[in-house]
Each structure stands twice: as C-alpha cells, then as structure tokens.
Amino acid sequence: MDAQGRGRDENIDPADQWVLNPDTGDYELRLTPSAGRPAAPSGTSGSRASAAGRRRDPAPTGEPSGGRASVPGQRGGRRGTGGRGGRDGARQPGGRAAGRAGARAAADAPPAGRRRPPPRKSAKKKALVWTGGVLAFVLLGVGTAGYLVYEHFNGNITSVSSDGAGTGGFSKDRPINVLVIGTDKRTGEGNEGYGDKGSVGHADTTILFHVSKDRTNATALSIPRDLITDIPDCPTTQDDGSTKDIPATPARRFNESLGQYDRTPSCTMRTVTELTGMKVDHFMVADFNAVKTLTAAVDGVDVCLAKDIDDPDSHLKLSEGEHTLDGEQALAFLRTRHSVGFGGDLSRIEIQQQFLGSLMRKLKSNDTLTSPTRMWSLAEAATEALTVDDKISDINQLRKLGMELASVEPKNITFTTVPVVDNPAEKVKATVVLDQSKAPQVFSMMREDISFTAVEKQEKAEAKARDAAKLEGSTAAPADVRVDVYNGGAPAGSAQDALDWLQNDKGVLKSTNKANAPADVKKTQLVYAPNQADQARALAGMMGLSASALKPTTTDAGAMDPMVLTLGPDFQEAGTPLSAPRKAPDRIQRVEADKAVCAK
C-alpha cells in the first residue's frame, strides 16, 4: 500500500509521487496506480478505501474516537462529510474539486508525444494545490508554502457552530483575529494523569492571534485562565438545531467560558470580545492529543532551559540546556509551572509562548518546507487534531486563511499577555484581575492595528497620516470650542457623559448633547470646518482623538456653527483617550517569536 492507501504495495514514499506540472509550474501529487496493478475498488473485501474518497462517520456523543480532539459541550459537530453539514446543507464529496477538474480538462492535456496518465476514476482523487499552508493559522500565523493536500483532508475536519459570535469571514482589506483555545480535557491515552482527569474541558490556554491589515506583523495575546471577568449570555446550538441561551455569569474565571454549563467555543469568542473590544473572526480548539501529534509531525520542537526542571505534577524532568521535545514530553513541558518562574499559571504562559515561537521557527526552516513527507504528516496531524468553527470547516477555506497569514515573519510576531494584578478581594491569591493602568492600552493597540514590533512599513504609513491630519498648530481656548455631541454607537448615556465631562472638567461650555446620531459610525469622529481647525485640535487633545478621527469639510463655518462630535463603539467613558498609544506600555510581558529564550 502507498501512503494514501491506494492499492500500491511498493512502499513508495509520498515525496516520490510529486511531479512538476509544466503548465502551472506547481508540483502535484500524481495518484495514478502503479503499472500492472489496478487501484483497489472502494468497498472491496480485504482492501482499504481510497484515502481521498474516505469519509468517516460522525463520532458519537461522549468520548471521541481514536485520538481526535474533543470539544466540551460540542453540539452539531461535523466530521467526515467533506463539507458543511447541518443547516448549511450537505456537500457532495469532491464536488467543488470535480467542477474545477472538468473546467481545466483541456488545459491539463499533456504535450504532444508525452504519455497521458490513466484517467481518474473519481473526482475525489483530485489533488488540491495548496500554496498557503494549513498550519499558518494552526500554529499562530506561520505559513508554509508550495505543498499539496488531498481532498480527503476535508474528512478529517471537525467543526462546531460559531453561533454568530464571530464575523465568520476574513478579507485582505482588514486585520484578522483568530482565537486559539487549548482545553484541559483529559480524554486520550495517557492524559488522565494531568491534574483534574474529570475536567469537562475548560479554556485552559487561550491566545487571541491578531494579524495586521497589511499582513506585516502579528500580536499573539495570551489570556490567563484565572482572570476574573464577566461571561456574557451565550446562545448555543443544540443537537436538534435549536438554540439554547446559557445565562451570563459575572465575575467568574475566564476558563469557565468553555465547558462550564455546556458552553461551547462560541461562548469563549463572546467573552473575548467583551473583554478586549475586538471582534473575533474564527476559532480553533486543540486538546492534549493535538499537542502530541503536531509536535511529533515536525520531529520535535527545540527548547532551552536555564535550569533543571523536575515537576511532579506535569511529570517533566529535564536538565539545564537545550532539548528537542515531541509527543508526551512536549505536552509535559507546556503543562509545567511549578518548576519555572514564580510557579504559577502566568509563568506557564511564558514558557508556552517560548515554545510556540520555537515551533514557528521550525516551520519556517528549510528542513520543514522542503520535505513533502513532513509537510504531509503535518497537514494530516493538524486536520485530525483540531476543531474549527463551521465557517472554515472545509479545506479550501482553511487554505485561503493560511495564505492570508503566511507572509508574517517570526521577527514581526510578538507574544504578550493581558496585563493583570492579583485579585485584591482574595486573602489567598488564586485569581487575577485586569491591570487597569496597562490592559486598556494593550487592547487599544490591537484594536487600532498598531504593531508591538518596529515594522518600517507601518511606521511610514503612520507618519504620513500624522502629516496629513495637521494635528500640529494653534489650539483654541476651551471656552471658544463649540461642539454638538451625538451618540453614534457608543454605550447608552455616552453623549451626556461626555458633555458633563467637557463642561465640568474641561471648561467647554459651548457644548450640547444632541442625543442619538442619524446613523451609527464605526469609530468616534469629529467633523469640523477649515476655520474651526484650532477648535478641532483643542478638542482632539482633550479627548485623545487620533488623526484619523478628524474629518475636515471643504467650506468654512459660520461664527455660531458648532463642530459635530459623534461617539462610536470605541468610546468607553469620558476622560479615557480614544487614540491608541504609539508603543506598548512599559514592563509588560513580551516574547518575540524570532528570539530563542531559555525558560527560567
């Protein structure tokens, strides 16, 4: 049998099946059965079905089959259909690929004198050219290039409804936010020894991966599992297609946004949006088995230890120095905390970030990119190990997302953690709360798409925007600033809140609350006439408005005409600057993906 189970018995390595297509310039996997030996027909006794056409039955409720990733509270999960199921309707296996194959039939004809390969018996056997890299999004934005994957990978994918919690899409004209969730569910061989073996699968490790609009940089924000936050109402799809509203729970650990009360990943998406103000596009979920299979697929991940580690809880025992970890050892490394840093979850987050940075560098290395066998194993492990939202539940959508993320280099990827402090309400410190002096700045930078690393292209664009906005110049006295305040999508009562602050704290007495705007705006904006520029600069300075928030008109205003300030969803409360800082706050935890750091 060959690597894909297509009836050959010559023990052919998948790498030997890659052939250059002279018409496209791409390498393609040729799946033609060996000469003199027909492909085994599907369903024949004693033979294996074609891997490209193989579709598996949905796993039953409860324990997952084999080593599959499992999602606590999963409802409506789909596996092995080759496309979307449930309310989206059934997708015929290989249908999309078959259409493309037919359209290109004439173009794919071999040159004169070259032997035409035997015809494909099924559109399922058609290979997909994958030039982006499925693991770009799986492994936090590091893309792979130039490898192919079979249509059968669709059958590996398990999906769960996003329940409308995310955007469900992505495009080239805006940033991308992907939520990566690692659960602590103990299903799978050998995993019961890690802590609470009865866990329903909480959000144990959560990273919000933000890729910039121009795709030059990315920020991976770790969210501590023990952060006290509000978990919102969560409409959740049930087995019968109906929706159940899981009630909100205020002031709870963040990790309870998944698993608790049958919450699904869509609830974690909603919690992250409420916490950070950022809308999430997609989610991916991995359990302990995913760590084992993915690290084994890349032949291990290199780590560096500044001291010996002997953690009785994670069962990790390693000496000081460099090590290559995969499988069980890699999982133990990611689970360890008592032997590093301060011995808590925040220290564990740091070594997880160091590990992921090393994994990104491994994926970018030539050893990985030039090995078809390794790339095949990696794609197989990824699609088997992960659960994704239903909007990216087919291989073509994953390919497109991977291509969007693939260009980000490790040197422009920054790992950081939500700034937190010990919960002041506790005598015995077990949970944390937001550090209000730093966390809003971090969230604001990510919302405003500001890099945590020095990216030349972005700095030039920002300088050009600052020059065009003409923020520098004379400013009017507060008493001379005349402005009408509208609510265009801000929280209820914001217009009056802003008015009170302007009049009582800033002395802007010529200001009026005009209630709701005729239409909502995406961000707070100030519309002013050219002869009101000094007033606009004064108000921008008071409120921390960015250059992009200033919208000058082309004609001068009358002496009594006011400027128009419309408060958008980015307005939180009066006195809080609306423009993001130009650099990250001092003394926040950061790890840059291109730098090897030894765990302490």
Which pLDDT score, from 0 to 100, does residue 470 have? 54
Q: How far apart are CA 49 and CA 124, in angstroms?
A: 12
Contacts of residue 594, defined as CB under 8 A and 6 or more positions apart, other chains included, come to 357, 361, 409, 410, 411, 413
Encode pLDDT of 536-588 as tens digits.
999 988 988 877 788 999 999 999 999 999 999 988 888 877 766 666 676 77
* 154-450+587-592: CATH topology: Aminopeptidase (3.40.630)
pLDDT band at 460 (very low <50, low <70, confident <90, very high): low
Name the residue with higher pLDDT: 4 or 67. 67
pLDDT single digits (tens) 44-67:
333 333 333 333 333 333 343 444
pLDDT in tens, 134-151: 333 333 333 333 334 446
pTM of the model: 0.62
Q: Is the pLDDT at 244 greater than 70, yes or no?
A: yes
Is the pLDDT reported for residue 185 higher than 80?
Answer: no
- Sequence-ordered list of residues with C-beta below 8 angstroms from that of 549, at least 6 positions apart, any chain: 523, 524, 525, 526, 540, 578, 579
- Give one word for 241, left, alpha or beta, with left for phi > 0 and alpha for psi -120 to 50: left
Average pLDDT of every residue of the chain: 73
pLDDT of 15 reads 41
Asked if the domains 154-450+587-592 and 470-567 are classified in one and the same CATH topology, the answer is no
CA distances from 1 to 9, 33, 34, 149 (A): 4, 10, 11, 18
Helices 327-335, 345-364: axis angle to 10 degrees equals 140
The predicted structure's pLDDT at residue 573: 84
Contacts of 450 (CB under 8 A, 6+ apart): 458, 580, 581, 582
Q: Note whether 359 and 221 are within 8 A (CB).
A: no
Find the radius of gyration of the CA atoms of the chain: 27
Evaluate if residue 391 carries a pLDDT over 80. Answer: yes
Average pLDDT over residues 344-356: 84
How high is the pLDDT of residue 471? Answer: 63
Is a pLDDT exceeding 80 seen at residue 303? Answer: yes
The predicted pLDDT at position 296 comes to 85
What is the residue extent of each domain of the chain? 154-450+587-592, 470-567
Domain 470-567 bears CATH identifier 3.30.70 = yes
Cα torsion at 490, 230, 591, 454 (round to 10°)? 0
Q: Dihedral through CA 59, CA 63, CA 66, CA 71, nearest 10?
A: 80
